[in-house]
């Protein structure tokens, strides 16, 4: 992704065209590797960011995060992906990992389709799985 471009909106549109050239129209990726933020973000889909509602573009510019505007795949192409590989490490992500595992829609990562997903956790990120953390009563 051309995240250093002077015109990020134009760069996002160009990247979307590149995706279509390689993965069809609409683009369908075979595999995407995602991490998970402590706040439940994935890709650059951030909590409460308007980009979460974008349905008409495959690539968009997210709001400010840690001093930077970021470019991200939107939910439609993420949800068309044939396989999503989540890799989550660290105890600071244990609560978000449990929310993701239990399909919580309260975090951005929870909006990514789970049907063809594999969640890999290190021991530090996994302890809340057995306790059912993240489940709504």
Instruction: Please give the pLDDT value at position 131.
Output: 53
| CA gap 59, 69 in Å, rounded | 13
- Under DSSP, is residue 2 helix (H, G, I), strand (E, B) or coil? coil
pLDDT of residue 115: 92
CATH of the domain at 62: 3.40.50.1360
Return the H-helix or E-strand segment holding 71: strand 68-73
In a domain, 128, yes or no: no
Classify residue 129: in a domain, yes or no: no
pLDDT of residue 64: 79
Task: Enter the pTM of the model.
Answer: 0.88
Q: What pLDDT, on a 0 to 100 scale, did the predictor assign at position 2?
A: 87
Low-confidence ranges of the chain (pLDDT < 70): 130-137
Q: What tens digit of pLDDT does each residue of 76-88 get? A: 999 999 999 999 9
Number of structural domains in the chain? 1
Question: For residue 66, with 0-12 CB atoms within 10 Å meaning exposed, 13-18 middle and 19 or more buried, which class applies?
Answer: exposed
**What's the pLDDT score for residue 65?**
82
pLDDT at 130: 63
DSSP state of 120: E
């Amino acid at each position: 992704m051309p995240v250093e471009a002077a015109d990020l909106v134009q760069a996002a549109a160009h990247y979307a065209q590149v995706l279509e050239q390689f993965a069809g129209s609409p683009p369908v990726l075979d595999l995407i590797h995602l991490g998970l933020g402590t706040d439940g973000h994935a890709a650059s889909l951030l909590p409460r960011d308007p980009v979460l509602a974008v349905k008409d573009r495959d690539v968009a510019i997210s709001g400010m995060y840690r001093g930077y505007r970021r470019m991200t795949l939107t939910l439609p192409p993420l949800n068309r992906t044939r396989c999503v590989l989540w890799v989550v490490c660290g105890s600071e992500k244990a609560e978000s990992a449990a929310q993701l595992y239990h399909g919580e829609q309260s975090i951005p990562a929870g909006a990514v389709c789970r049907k063809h997903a594999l969640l890999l956790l290190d021991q530090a990120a996994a302890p809340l799985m057995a306790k059912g953390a993240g489940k709504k009563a």
